[in-house]
Structure 1
Amino acid sequence: MTRTTDDVGGVVSPSGQGRARPARDRHVSDFTELMRAVQEAGLLRRRLGYYWTRFAVLTLLLAGVVTAFVLLGPTRWQLAVAAVLAVVLGQVMFLGHDAAHRQIFRSGRWNEWAALVIATLYAGMSYGWWNHKHSRHHAKPNTVGADPDIRAGVLVYTTANLERPRTGVVGWFARRQGWFFFPLLLLEGLNLHVSGVRTLLGRGPVKRRPVEIAFVTARLAGYLALVFWLLPFGMGVAFLAVQLGVFGVYMGACFAPNHKGMPVLPASAPVDFLRRQVLQSRDITGGRWVDLLMGGLNHQVEHHLFPSMPSPSLRRVRPLVRRFCAERGIPYTETGLAESYRIVVRHLNEVGLAAADPFRCPLAAELRTTR
């Protein structure tokens, strides 16, 4: 069941003024007050012991998976190893995500190198490409023209700025795109690697390009060499397909519920930082197993408000943020994991229907999808 603390319309008016607190500087002071409470609670303190332990455990798990892979040899059980490897690499990426947000060390340089080793060398993903894209998402989540995560591609996430209706086979797909979302995630793992490599070899913004190229080359070349040295070609292809497929589904299933189906704002929307981050994000309820499964990203509202907060502190700050929002009439959305997936599928189908219908009002469709 989805829970929100208020109606969106009662918080932000077209002039950018709140219902109870009309002055924009008051909105700024709201976040300052919240930040002060968080600092006083010690929730921004570094958790070096936690992160070093997590890094050691993941390194041992990767070593264990590689050992199992070598010892098993050519057998169908390697497909199970591939699935396990995908989940472990997903957890590696969550740790790389924390380093990229400077959650681990006080030094920005240390965090940057940690992200390079974890995400690029361990997982084979371009840290520079991902960090540039993810930073733009954090700055203006679910904002048309600013958030790269809602840019139209195979899927349509918003009808705003859509140049023409999608018709024919493309229109048929668009009307049903929600049902295809999770199957398409089977290709997301490959897409993430390809996008990173294209950026490294192109002119995209990459701070340490030579280092990243060396790390990605060593990781991907070594991985492919090991797979095809030990397994017959067909089995090796199957191993890679399972690993990349499960990895893509895992990543998409953890990131998609956080924003898909939440309100989409025009680029010019005069919304302050606090309300922008809260209104556009959704928390996923559940116990600590959900924290583990989603790498702490189930606390998405809190993560967007305090991106440098260590992930184990997000659960502790959640009640404080929820109470703070309730006192100021700011909608705070949270729902269960299964319900969040239903919301994502329904939202994508509704947006896709609007995108495929030239007689449907795009604005009305957008308003319906944000209810």
Structure 2
Amino acid sequence: MASDVPASLPNSSGPPRSRPNPTSEFSELAHRIQSSGLMHRRYTYYWAKLLAVPIAFGFAITVFVLVGDTWWQLLVAAGLAVLFTQTAFLGHDAAHRQIFRSGRWNDWTSLVIGDLFVGMSYGWWQHKHTRHHANPNKVDSDPDIELPVISFTPEQAAKRRNPVTEWAVAHQGAFFFPILLLEGVSLHASSVRRVFSREHIDRRWVEIFFLLVRLGGYLTLVFLVLSPGIAFAFLGVQLGLFGLYMGVAFAPNHKGMPLVPRDAKLDFLRRQVLMSRNVRGSRFLDVALGGLNYQIEHHLFPSMPRPHLRRAAPIIAAYCRERGVTYTQTGLFESYGIVLRYINRVGLGQSDPFACPLVAQRSSF
């Protein structure tokens, strides 16, 4: 169970076996989870977090103003990067209907947290993240493996390979974490681009207003309090660390896990489990990664409240063992090593070493 490389499903040697009913398999797991009470709301937990957000932001702004025009502001910038990321995790929970029973309450919570406090468009993120949850690691379907600067399939690497970039593509793993320093700017830019585009987005004018207040007000405050040199350094540190923190929280979840061919059809249980990776660790890691270290549980039950994921993990791991479904779990730094080795292998032009085991054996059922 606790392997760092996805193992194949049991081979097809031996006597013929009947094909399991994939719908009933997930239904049985869902019944176990429901019976355990792990889908119940955690209102006290989430209300405490929701009330803490404006208090924390008020405190951060007060510290920022009091510190004034000094280079000590770089420490404040690092603190803000952590605050923005932790707040984004809370918005992620609301977007997955983890906080309230009412979809409308969850939507507005996500809008306020995402757009007004973090500066990320909820509508843009929802569209992108919904596609990812529907088809994790599926070629041409999952937007999280279609990045402009990193290749996750040999086909992507071949398209970007030319005499100028050949070395960079072959060693793209070395650039993965440095590139994440630009992710903060990319998230804000993608959000603004989406709300001003012609693509459909619910509550467009609300998002435009919130983003203008958040991004415009933030920049105005920074340049009012700080001199230009310190202000640009402050923004560089804050945006860089925000992007890095977001990246290292999301990178271990699926990168380097099996890729699903564009024409493959998998049942829900295997589609979510085989393409996801958990990161083992303490409760401190649970907080630091916003519960994303329980990626398998989150993908199977997206609306499960974050504090219940740790309790659900052993139930789901045991169920996967019963069904012969590989449940992958690694340490945090192990997961980064897997990601970097995988990206480099793709950059060198090798075929995907993490081909989906279920796809490879579909014909044996």
TM tier, smaller:
over 0.9
In the alignment, which residue of structure 2 is the partner of 1:357?
none
Output the CA distance in 1 between the equivalents of 2:356 and 2:174: 19
In the alignment, which residue of structure 2 is the partner of 1:224?
219
Paired residues for 1:148-227 under 5 Å: 148-160=143-155, 164=159, 166-227=161-222
In the alignment, which residue of structure 2 is the partner of 1:290?
285
The alpha-carbon deviation at position 203 of structure 1 amounts to 1.8
Partner letter of residue 320 of structure 1?
A: I
Distance 1:352 1:229, change over 3 A: same
Q: Which runs of 4+ in 1 moved over 6 A?
A: none
In the alignment, which residue of structure 2 is the partner of 1:142?
137
Output the CA distance in 1 between the equivalents of 2:169 and 2:22: 39
The alpha-carbon deviation at position 234 of structure 1 amounts to 1.1
Per-residue deviation, residues 310-345 of structure 1 (Å, max 9, x unmatched): 111100100000000001100000000011111111
Distance 1:366 1:12, change over 3 A: farther
In the alignment, which residue of structure 2 is the partner of 1:260?
255
Distance 1:205 1:81, change over 3 A: same
Gaps of 5+ in 1: 14-18, 355-361
Q: Residue 235 of structure 1: SS of its match in structure 2?
A: helix
Deviates more, 1:205-214 or 1:317-326: 205-214
Distance 1:209 1:11, change over 3 A: farther
In the alignment, which residue of structure 1 is the partner of 2:97?
102
Output the CA distance in 2 between the equivalents of 1:196 and 1:98: 19
Q: Is the 8 A contact 2:87 2:113 kept in 1?
A: yes
In the alignment, which residue of structure 1 is the partner of 2:33?
38
Output the CA distance in 2 between the equivalents of 1:5 and 1:182: 21
Paired residues for 1:19-168 under 5 Å: 22-23=19-20, 26-160=21-155, 164=159, 166-168=161-163
In the alignment, which residue of structure 2 is the partner of 1:10?
10
Q: Residue 367 of structure 1: SS of its match in structure 2?
A: coil
Q: Is the 8 A contact 2:278 2:330 kept in 1?
A: yes
Distance 1:282 1:12, change over 3 A: farther
RMSD: 2.0
Deviates more, 1:261-270 or 1:165-174: 165-174
Gaps of 5+ in 2: 358-365
Q: What fraction of aligned residue pairs are identical, expressed as a percent?
A: 52
Output the CA distance in 2 between the equivalents of 1:51 and 1:116: 16
The alpha-carbon deviation at position 4 of structure 1 amounts to 6.8
Output the CA distance in 1 between the equivalents of 2:188 and 2:124: 10
Distance 1:82 1:273, change over 3 A: same
Distance 1:12 1:122, change over 3 A: farther
Output the CA distance in 2 between the equivalents of 1:342 and 1:303: 23
Output the CA distance in 1 between the equivalents of 2:179 and 2:278: 24
Aligned length: 355
Which of 266, 284, 296 is equivalent to 1:301? 296
The alpha-carbon deviation at position 3 of structure 1 amounts to 1.6
The alpha-carbon deviation at position 60 of structure 1 amounts to 1.8
| TM-score in terms of structure 1 length | 0.91
Output the CA distance in 2 between the equivalents of 1:132 and 1:153: 18
Distance 1:40 1:185, change over 3 A: same
Output the CA distance in 2 between the equivalents of 1:342 and 1:202: 38
Q: Is the 8 A contact 2:4 2:330 kept in 1?
A: no
Q: Residue 136 of structure 2: SS of its match in structure 1?
A: coil
The alpha-carbon deviation at position 7 of structure 1 amounts to 3.2
| TM-score in terms of structure 2 length | 0.93
